[in-house]
């Protein structure tokens, strides 16, 4: 009797326990703990991370990416300027209490940040090594991009959620970390075990490399090539064989336009589906090409006198006279007669219009769905050309230089053919004539740094703002070529006197300050320590530009 009673109690207890567990499970399913970690499919996280490369707009209202900052930094290198003569960026000016030039900071720490960390964490748990490799590649890209724009930044304490303020690390540490992470990325991208699947990677990578791991490896090698080529002013460039490393990794990176790293856009009636530079989003209506790029491509620069570049109709905009003229960024439209005003990048024939025309006439990277390059085979060939020339191998430098120009022509005639005037279409004959011109492609013994850097400047026009600015700062904007005794960036004249922002104290810009709405509101002690509250902080030279 006792045992029956005990068994009855035990059975009742088990039944009650099962009921409670079942009930608890239903409650847990219905009311998820908001503090518990929820594992999201990494295939759905990667697209927004890739979107952060160019210009991503989050639900929190924060825009970030290369294109956002490129609109402003393009003034420093005289790619373009605003129709307003009063805008500070054309004067290499400051930012005030705004997040201007803070978009790359936001992209790396916010847009990529924990999203990249989660792809690495969950991808590792799920043995999706290709996703893990891609995430590490994006992190390596972010560190190099970040430090070349801002200098000192948060490295060792980045993403530490227990902190409210963070210590900054020096630029050399970012370079070291970038390279270490590149090799880590390659180690994962080389794996074929576990749940590696090109088809599955393509789900998250539909608008970049479409799941092609071999191209992601080239992307990593290109980061490494840039990281070594950036240090031409350092003694280690020669003593530690950095020129050889730049050559090695540029050769392993993109070799054809099919390898180019480009952000792609689906297009449609939603902003996020279109390029930040396209007419749908309306962000560059007041921007016009600068005189410097126009002079380079129309024979008015002393480096390429009298040579008309066949690429001009693809990259620039004509005026009502049918010629190519541009603004001086700090003067706006001053000095140009009305008929010389260039159209805006969307092709509005009304000189001062800031809108797109009724019929879309946009070209190049300024189309709604114009692919936005991040690194190209042409750029890698220019890195080879500069490295070989610095090593005294002029023959190899000339081969790479010629290949670089040729690849850029081919990229334009393959990817950017929309709305090109019939008379301006590049033909095999016009390309061949340009490359046969000794002013453009001289004998190997006559090739100069000016040739290489100015042709690279042209090839990166419109999309390579950050890399061109990195290059120009390496040459301190107006450095002389020790071989020719002439300015490397021929005829380039930065603003001075009353046209240079007063807080610069007569100096040019070498860095952007950290992002205002994260750092200047919450990390003031560290900003004070590194001198970032000084009005001329943006003029402090970078570690990589110094000898």
Q: Is residue 130 assigned to a domain?
A: yes
Secondary structure element (H or E) that encloses residue 287, with its range: strand 287-289
191 Rama sector, left if φ>0, alpha if ψ -120 to 50, beta otherwise: beta
Reported confidence tier of residue 59, pLDDT bands at 50, 70, 90: low
Q: Which two tokens stand for residue 448?
A: 């100069």
The set of residues, in sequence order, having a beta carbon less than 8 Å from that of 95 and lying 6+ positions away, is 101, 102, 512, 513, 516
Tell me the per-residue pLDDT of 195-205, one tens digit each, with 9 for 90 and over. 999 999 999 99
Tell me the per-residue pLDDT of 269-328, one tens digit each, with 9 for 90 and over. 988 899 999 999 999 999 999 999 999 999 999 999 999 999 999 999 999 999 999 999
Residue span of the structural domain in which 183 resides: 42-238+504-539
Q: Is the pLDDT of residue 24 over 70?
A: no
Q: Is residue 104 assigned to a domain?
A: yes
User: How does DSSP classify residue 290?
Assistant: B
Q: Identify whether the C-beta of residue 335 lies closer than 8 Å to the C-beta of residue 325.
A: no
Q: Is residue 21 assigned to a domain?
A: no
d(CA 80, CA 73): 9
Helix axes 465-474, 129-150, angle to 10 degrees: 50
Q: Is the pLDDT of residue 4 over 50?
A: no
Q: Is the pLDDT of residue 35 over 80?
A: no
Task: Check residue 62 and give its pLDDT.
Answer: 63
* Chain length of the chain: 547
Q: Identify whether the C-beta of residue 121 lies closer than 8 Å to the C-beta of residue 55.
A: no
Query: Exposed, middle or buried, 12 (CB in 10 Å: 0-12/13-18/19+)?
Result: exposed
Which residues are 368's β-sheet partners?
A: none
Mean pLDDT of 53-78: 86
Task: Check residue 83 and give its pLDDT.
Answer: 87
Q: What is the CATH number of the domain that holds 199?
A: 1.25.40.390
Reported confidence tier of residue 543, pLDDT bands at 50, 70, 90: very high
d(CA 52, CA 278): 16
Q: Alpha helix (H) ranges present in 190-234?
A: 198-204, 213-229
d(CA 73, CA 95): 12
Q: Give the residue from 249, 251, 276 showing the smallest Cα distance to 265.
A: 276
First to last CA, the chain: 95
d(CA 493, CA 485): 17
Q: Give the residue from 533, 532, 535, 534 showing the smallest Cα distance to 503.
A: 535
d(CA 84, CA 97): 20
Task: Check residue 15 and give its pLDDT.
Answer: 41
d(CA 494, CA 484): 21
Which residues are 153's β-sheet partners?
A: 169
Q: Is residue 265 assigned to a domain?
A: no
Q: Identify whether the C-beta of residue 79 lies closer than 8 Å to the C-beta of residue 461.
A: yes
Q: Which residue has the tokens 């791991």?
A: 213
Q: Identify whether the C-beta of residue 176 lies closer than 8 Å to the C-beta of residue 228.
A: no
**For residue 392, which phi and psi values (nearest 5 degrees)?**
85, 10
Q: Is residue 178 assigned to a domain?
A: yes
Q: Identify whether the C-beta of residue 363 lies closer than 8 Å to the C-beta of residue 416.
A: yes
Reported confidence tier of residue 37, pLDDT bands at 50, 70, 90: low
Q: Which two tokens stand for residue 49?
A: 């991370």
Q: Is residue 208 assigned to a domain?
A: yes
d(CA 378, CA 261): 11
Reported confidence tier of residue 12, pLDDT bands at 50, 70, 90: very low
d(CA 199, CA 228): 33
Q: Which two tokens stand for residue 427?
A: 């033909």
Q: Is residue 408 assigned to a domain?
A: no
Q: How many domains does the chain have?
A: 1
- Calculate the average pLDDT of the chain: 92
Q: Which residue has the tokens 């066949």?
A: 310
CA dihedral for 8, 10, 13, 14, sign (positive or negative): negative
Task: Check residue 119 and give its pLDDT.
Answer: 98
Q: Is residue 532 assigned to a domain?
A: yes
Q: What is the pTM of this model?
A: 0.93
């Amino acid at each position: 009797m006792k045992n029956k009673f005990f068994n009855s109690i035990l059975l009742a207890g088990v039944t009650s326990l099962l009921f409670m567990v079942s009930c608890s499970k239903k409650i847990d399913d219905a009311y998820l703990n908001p503090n518990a970690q929820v594992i999201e499919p990494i295939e759905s996280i990667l697209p927004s991370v890739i979107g952060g490369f160019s210009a991503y707009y989050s639900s929190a209202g924060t825009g970030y990416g290369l294109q956002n900052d490129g609109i402003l930094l393009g003034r420093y290198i005289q790619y373009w300027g605003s129709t307003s003569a009063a805008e500070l960026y054309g004067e290499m000016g400051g930012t005030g209490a705004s997040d201007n030039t803070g978009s790359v900071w936001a992209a790396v720490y916010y847009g990529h940040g924990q999203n990249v960390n989660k792809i690495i964490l969950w991808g590792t748990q799920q043995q999706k090594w290709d996703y893990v490799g891609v995430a590490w590649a994006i992190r390596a890209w972010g560190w190099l991009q970040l430090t070349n724009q801002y200098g000192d930044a948060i490295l060792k304490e980045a993403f530490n959620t227990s902190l409210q303020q963070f210590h900054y690390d020096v630029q050399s540490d970012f370079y070291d970390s970038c390279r270490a992470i590149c090799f880590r990325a390659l180690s994962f991208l080389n794996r074929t075990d576990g749940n590696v699947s090109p088809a599955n990677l393509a789900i998250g990578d539909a608008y970049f490399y479409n799941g092609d791991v071999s191209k992601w490896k080239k992307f990593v090698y290109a980061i490494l090539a840039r990281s070594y080529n950036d240090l031409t002013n350092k003694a280690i460039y020669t003593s530690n064989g950095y020129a050889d490393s730049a050559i090695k990794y540029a050769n392993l990176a993109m070799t054809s336009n099919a390898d180019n790293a480009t952000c792609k856009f689906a297009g449609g009636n939603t902003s996020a589906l279109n390029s930040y530079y396209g007419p749908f989003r309306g962000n560059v209506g007041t921007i016009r090409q600068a005189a410097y790029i126009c002079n380079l491509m129309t024979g008015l620069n002393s480096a390429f006198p009298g040579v008309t570049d066949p690429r001009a109709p693809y990259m620039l905009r004509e005026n009502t006279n049918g010629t190519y003229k541009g603004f001086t960024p700090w003067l706006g439209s001053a000095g140009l007669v009305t008929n010389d005003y260039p159209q805006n990048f969307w092709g509005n024939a009304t000189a001062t219009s800031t809108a797109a025309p009724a019929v879309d006439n946009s070209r190049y990277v300024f189309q709604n769905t114009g692919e936005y390059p991040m690194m190209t085979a042409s750029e890698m060939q220019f890195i080879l050309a500069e490295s070989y020339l610095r090593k005294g191998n002029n023959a190899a430098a000339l081969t790479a230089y010629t290949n670089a120009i040729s690849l850029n022509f081919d990229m334009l005639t393959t990817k950017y053919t929309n709305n090109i005037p019939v008379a301006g279409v590049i033909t095999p004959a016009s390309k061949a004539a340009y490359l046969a011109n000794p002013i453009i492609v001289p004998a190997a013994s006559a090739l100069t740094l000016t040739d290489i850097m100015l042709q690279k400047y042209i090839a990166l026009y419109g999309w390579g703002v950050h890399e061109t600015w990195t290059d120009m700062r390496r040459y301190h904007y107006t450095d002389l070529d020790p071989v020719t005794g002439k300015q490397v960036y021929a005829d380039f004249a930065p603003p001075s006197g009353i046209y240079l922002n007063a807080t610069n104290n007569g100096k040019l810009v070498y860095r952007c300050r950290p992002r205002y709405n994260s750092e200047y509101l919450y990390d003031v002690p560290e900003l004070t320590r590194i001198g970032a509250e000084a009005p001329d902080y943006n003029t402090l030279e970078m570690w990589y530009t110094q000898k």
